[in-house]
Structure 1
Amino acid sequence: MTFNLRPWQLADFPAYQALITLPPIATAIGIDAKSVASQQQAFENDIYQTYQATIIIDGTPQDSIVAYQRANELGEPLATEADLAYFLAPDFWGHGIMTDVVTAFIAQLPPHFTLWADVLADNIGSLRVLEKVGFTNQGTYIDLFGRQISQFHLYR
């Protein structure tokens, strides 16, 4: 399946909103899918990141991928470290698309960049994506919602 990777745009909010209100995505990203304010906040948090994109399939945004800049213990930004987060419309799960998207997205990041990714431990698809693109599993922890999370790391 072919796709185009491009930055999110303000006009994409309805498509983003449609994606993050899908139960499997809302649960995984931990937002209140019924709150428009929460949806808007999530969108603005994503769209204003330095490294962010959506994939366009058949003319419509179908995913989100973002590298959120990390900060040190004093809250100062770390220029070469980020937390990778992504989701994909369930209609496209299991087709290998996300592996290609993550690979293309990472290729656009500056060299000597460190990425971290936290994934629900039972999200086998995302675990496999991260392993396929070279992330290493650093272990698991329990998040604030009581969910088991696997943490991954990639230095490139």
Structure 2
Amino acid sequence: MVENFATNHLTIRKLQMTDFDDYYRLISYPEVAAGTGFSLIGNQKMIEEAVKGQLQAPRSFGLYLADQLIGAVLFFTAIGEDHLPDPFRVEMSYFLEPTYWHQGLMTEALTEILAQLPTQITVTAAAFSDNLASIALLKKLDFKQETQIHDPISGRDKLLFISSQA
């Protein structure tokens, strides 16, 4: 997968530790923190360590508009039924600064990023059941709803989706 590329409106590149302050600013938006789970972590040091881990993950991409970090798309290797990492399955997470919601930027970014993944990779994603925009986005990208679960940590229902090539 290419680490740096552009869409019509965005520059997409591999996140780096130099993005820490801007990334931290993004996850500090209450709407983003609630969707990413950062609002559930009360310990500042734990949040900082989680951010460092996300920035250093091999498939973590920043979305930049005019050189400003406005969002991220993260892929994590999924754990298979054998409790080992599954090299052919990734879990996708994404978020965008609320100022840029409902402008098609995440659709644009995910369309390009997903097109660059190897075809043998299956992508899964989750959306809270009340996050209608995220659900619509995943459906627009041809993800199929797999199941619904109750997340005991957040106390909210989530819908789990899987990429159509699975």
Q: Into which bin does the TM-score normalised by the smaller protein fall?
A: over 0.9
> 2:24 is matched with which residue?
17
- Distance across 1 between alignment mates of 2:143 and 2:150: 20
CA-based RMSD of the aligned residues comes to: 1.6
TM-score (norm 2): 0.87
- Distance across 1 between alignment mates of 2:159 and 2:53: 23
> 2:37 is matched with which residue?
30
Unmatched 5+ residue regions in structure 2?
Answer: 1-7
Higher mean C-alpha deviation, range 131-140 or range 30-39: 30-39
Amino acid aligned to 2:19: D
Aligned pairs for 1:7-156 within 5 A: 7-32=14-39, 35-144=43-152, 145-156=154-165
Amino acid aligned to 2:51: F
Amino acid aligned to 2:71: D
TM-score (norm 1): 0.92
Aligned-pair identity in percent equals 24
CA deviations 1:60-97 (Å, max 9, x no partner) are 11101011101124431110101110000000000011
Amino acid aligned to 2:17: L
- Distance across 1 between alignment mates of 2:27 and 2:46: 10
Q: How many residues align?
A: 156
Determine if contact 1:53/1:64 at 8 Å carries over to the other structure: yes
CA deviations 1:23-74 (Å, max 9, x no partner) are 0011111124664323322222222222120111121111010111011244
